[in-house]
Structure 1
Amino acid sequence: MNLPLQKRLLAATVASTLSATAWALDPMPVRVSEGLALTPTLKLGLGYDDNFRAVESGRDASWVSSIAPTLALGTDTGKVKLDLRYTANHELYRSSRKDDNTDHLLGLTADLQFDVRNRLRLAANYRKMEETASADQKVENDKYNSAGFNAGYTYGADNASGQIRLGLNHDRLRYDNGLDPISAKRLNADKERDSTAVTGAFLYRVTAKTRALAEARLTDHDYVSNTALDSRNTALLFGAEWDATAFTSGSARFGRERKDFDRAGKRDTSTGMWEVGITWAPLTYSSFSLNTRRGFDEGSDNADSIKTQSWTLSWKHDWSERLSSNLSYTNSNQDYDRPSNPREDTLDSVGIGLTYKMRRWLDVGVGYKHTENDSTQAGKSYKRNVVGVTVNASL
């Protein structure tokens, strides 16, 4: 989903703390009918957040408990694979009951294998969310819903010399906030938008497990009321994808991105762009991952756009068949395009988590994460610590 920038950063650096390591669960599906199975899971969490509004001064702290049941319904016939899942995540803030909220996430994916050369992947999702860490929390938490649809078509067999990939993506972002008592305008209405992206890529096999690629992207942002930010992003990238070779797998894309506004007087801009994701597994029970990105995000806090550069380094290690750990560090730099009032934020986050597999159907995890944002704008810097324990269960 094309969610607001700060929401994605907070989700990546803080919200995942209470489940800091990947599940080791081996759920047992319930047979509904021939070829159709239902898989229920349940995650319980209890944590302490010393700055759940992510503010510089006047910090609010609270114990936060959560319960998140998930239902997944799926089938796999070989040529058709369907997955429908729904999660409801209820959070209860012991020190601020007005911030209690329930997030809803619904997703459907369909993988269709027509023959060895033609494959189609379809995905649709809907989210209804509330964020305590938001720009307007002194009035009301950010409350929004987003809906998206994605289609990706691949032509070319897995072992073919060449492949063509085509993609179409549409995201719809709307806010459910009330009126600002000072301005009498609906909060966050200026951020509502529809974003449509089309992509095309050509891949050429250079070795048995490596493909070179060239990719073009075009994204159109259409704002509902703040039409001054209507714009088009174009990007041209070159790089490679590779399977497990010499203990590594991943992809790397490098190129340039340009943002052009529809309204005269807005400053068009461009930047170098990259997307890299690499996993190195020198041992079967230990792996290192590097993910880094540079490009444009949609503007917020009166910025026309935000140039973002981020990278995350993580280490996952299995100490035994039951005990695993995950250590991660994230650095992100956001340069707000505001000619009259420039702003630059640097966010650093470090987290550690342990997961113990008590049973096939039961995991227990503990985690800690420290996040620090350093901003050139007064009042936008903050520090945040989250510690917690989770219990993940299935049938």
Structure 2
Amino acid sequence: MGKLKLTRLTGMLLCGVVTTVQAQEPEGMIRTESGIDLIPGLVTSLRHDDNVIRDKEKSVSSWLSTIAPSLKANLVDGVNNYTLSGALRNGKYFSSSEDDYTDGYLDAEARLSPGSAHQLKFKGTGSWLHEDRGTGVSEGRGLVQDEVTRYNSQNGVVEYEYGNQGSTGKLRANARYYAKDYDNFRDVTQYRDHDLRQLGGGFVYQTGGAFKLVAEVASADINFKSVDLSGARDNQDTNYRLGTEWEMSAITTGILKLGYQKKDFDLEQRENFSGFAWETIVQWQPLTYSGFDLAAGRRAKDVDALNINSDYIVETSYSIGWNHQWSESLTSKLAYEYQTDAYNLLQTSANSLLRREDTNKVITAELTAKPKRWLQVTGFINLEDRTSTLGIIEFDRTVYGVEFKVTL
């Protein structure tokens, strides 16, 4: 589905709002006679980016304005819940029209409870997005392109859980399909079109306290639709995880999963990955008005950029954020992210000429005010610093601006 078709669909949804509105609720919701709640929104921003294409010389800098209308429809039918969401996002660069973009997505989700011990979730998403010049496929070669890289993706997820609140154990099963296809620069982007088919399952043991013990396994077939000069990249990605999930009153919630990942390529000449993989997400709120978010993980992933001889990337990331509420209408956020990408561990350890490791650091500061119930204003600054053993992709970047979020 192209941009024009998505615009028409959004327009039809908005027309539905006009014809079915009965009353505007004070909490920003429109209720219809059919029982469907409509939640429209609008986010606009003005920001300055001093390194639009992410290169060492900072060849392009520009102010940027964005506008993003959205609409969410929600229907509660007894124990079942249905939602449909859509949004557009348009970005205009004042000094670099080559980087203008229009993104969109449509998302549908159903949560069903056919019985007290059965929980089902269906979710489908269609996205029409872009990669900024100098990122993704165009990493290190942003000036070569005269526009952003556009792609579309489809994502479908089915999740099932058996067990009720008082059960000692719960069974989980899931399936996922994902496809990504690029729209332009097909002479090079065709080699990164791919799809993924995944099946997974797990068991949850409820200890009777705040902790749950979790065992999971998931296996995905990843298929690339065209073969690049280095050979086929199709592979089987399997993950085994053991861990815990917890919720201790309002003070702390989180997950910690440790495991083993195996990535087997169909092409024998490629280097397979097998090793330690893990993830953790923790929310800690020692005070009602102040809290911390922590996230970290390690995994092997496929290579996005072109002209890369490596077969996979081992990504290790850490992040911490502090959220503080200064008053009823004023909050702040301070966050730090640190990520390393190591390319083909075995080859790089044996041959220093093949060694590549990237390090990315991002500091984010935000101050949000809510002068009206329907208006939220956020001032922000992002500081990004990337270093690499491949000097051509090193850069630093500063983005600052203000964002306005409007609801009913």
For normalisation by structure 2, the TM-score amounts to 0.86
The code of the aligned residue for 1:172 comes to A
* Higher RCO (CA-CA < 8 Å; seq separation 6+): 1
Map 1:94-105 onto structure 2 (within 5 A). 94-105=94-105
Q: Does 1:209 align with 2:216?
A: no
- Residue matched to 2:180: 173
For normalisation by structure 1, the TM-score amounts to 0.89
> Alignment partner for residue 167 of structure 2, among 160, 164, 179?
160
Deviation at 1:105, TM superposition (A): 1.3
Task: Output the CA distance in 2 between the equivalents of 1:321 and 1:292.
Answer: 31
- Residue matched to 1:146: 153
Instruction: Kindly report structure 1 stretches of 4+ aligned residues shifted beyond 3 Å.
Output: none
The code of the aligned residue for 2:215 comes to A
The code of the aligned residue for 1:146 comes to S
Kept in 2: contact 1:27–1:39 (CA 8 A): no
- Residue matched to 2:319: 312
1:66-97 Cα offsets, whole Å, 9 max, x none, are 00000111111232111111110000000011
1:153-186 Cα offsets, whole Å, 9 max, x none, are 000002210001111111000001135xxxxxx2
Task: Output the CA distance in 2 between the equivalents of 1:158 and 1:278.
Answer: 22
Task: Output the CA distance in 2 between the equivalents of 1:392 and 1:86.
Answer: 16
- In terms of Rg, which structure is larger? 2
Deviation at 1:215, TM superposition (A): 0.7
Kept in 1: contact 2:71–2:86 (CA 8 A): yes
Task: Output the CA distance in 2 between the equivalents of 1:178 and 1:246.
Answer: 50
List alignment gaps of at least 5 residues for structure 2. Answer: 1-25, 348-352
Task: Output the CA distance in 2 between the equivalents of 1:76 and 1:244.
Answer: 29
Kept in 1: contact 2:131–2:150 (CA 8 A): yes
- Residue matched to 1:59: 59
1:128-170 Cα offsets, whole Å, 9 max, x none, are 1122242253224221111110011000002210001111111
Deviation at 1:278, TM superposition (A): 0.6
The DSSP-based 3-state class of the residue aligned with 1:319 is strand
Q: Does 1:349 align with 2:356?
A: no
Map 1:28-39 onto structure 2 (within 5 A). 28-39=28-39
The DSSP-based 3-state class of the residue aligned with 1:121 is strand
Kept in 2: contact 1:349–1:372 (CA 8 A): yes
The DSSP-based 3-state class of the residue aligned with 2:57 is coil
Kept in 1: contact 2:271–2:344 (CA 8 A): no
Task: Output the CA distance in 2 between the equivalents of 1:112 and 1:246.
Answer: 27
Kept in 1: contact 2:117–2:163 (CA 8 A): yes
Deviation at 1:246, TM superposition (A): 7.6
1:35-80 Cα offsets, whole Å, 9 max, x none, are 2011110011000000011112252100000000001111112321
Deviation at 1:248, TM superposition (A): 1.0
The code of the aligned residue for 1:378 comes to G
The code of the aligned residue for 1:220 comes to D
1:219-240 Cα offsets, whole Å, 9 max, x none, are 1101101261100011111000
The code of the aligned residue for 1:349 comes to V
Kept in 1: contact 2:232–2:267 (CA 8 A): yes
> Alignment partner for residue 235 of structure 1, among 236, 239, 248?
239
Task: Output the CA distance in 2 between the equivalents of 1:244 and 1:76.
Answer: 29
Task: Output the CA distance in 2 between the equivalents of 1:390 and 1:281.
Answer: 26
Q: Does 1:384 align with 2:388?
A: no
Deviation at 1:187, TM superposition (A): 2.6
Instruction: Give the number of equivalent residue pairs.
Output: 364
> Alignment partner for residue 267 of structure 1, among 266, 271, 284?
271
RMSD: 1.5
Deviation at 1:34, TM superposition (A): 2.8
Distance change >3 Å, CA 128–CA 246, structure 1 → 2: closer
- Residue matched to 1:117: 117
Q: Which moved more, 1:73-82 or 1:285-294?
A: 73-82
List alignment gaps of at least 5 residues for structure 1. Answer: 1-25, 180-185
- Residue matched to 2:293: 289
The code of the aligned residue for 2:323 comes to K
The code of the aligned residue for 1:65 comes to S
Task: Output the CA distance in 2 between the equivalents of 1:235 and 1:44.
Answer: 40
1:279-329 Cα offsets, whole Å, 9 max, x none, are 110011111011111001111332211110001101111111000011100
Task: Output the CA distance in 2 between the equivalents of 1:252 and 1:177.
Answer: 40
Deviation at 1:31, TM superposition (A): 1.7
Kept in 2: contact 1:57–1:379 (CA 8 A): no
- Where is the helix percentage greater, Structure 1 or Structure 2? 2
- Residue matched to 2:78: 78
Kept in 1: contact 2:273–2:300 (CA 8 A): no
Q: Which moved more, 1:117-126 or 1:170-179?
A: 170-179
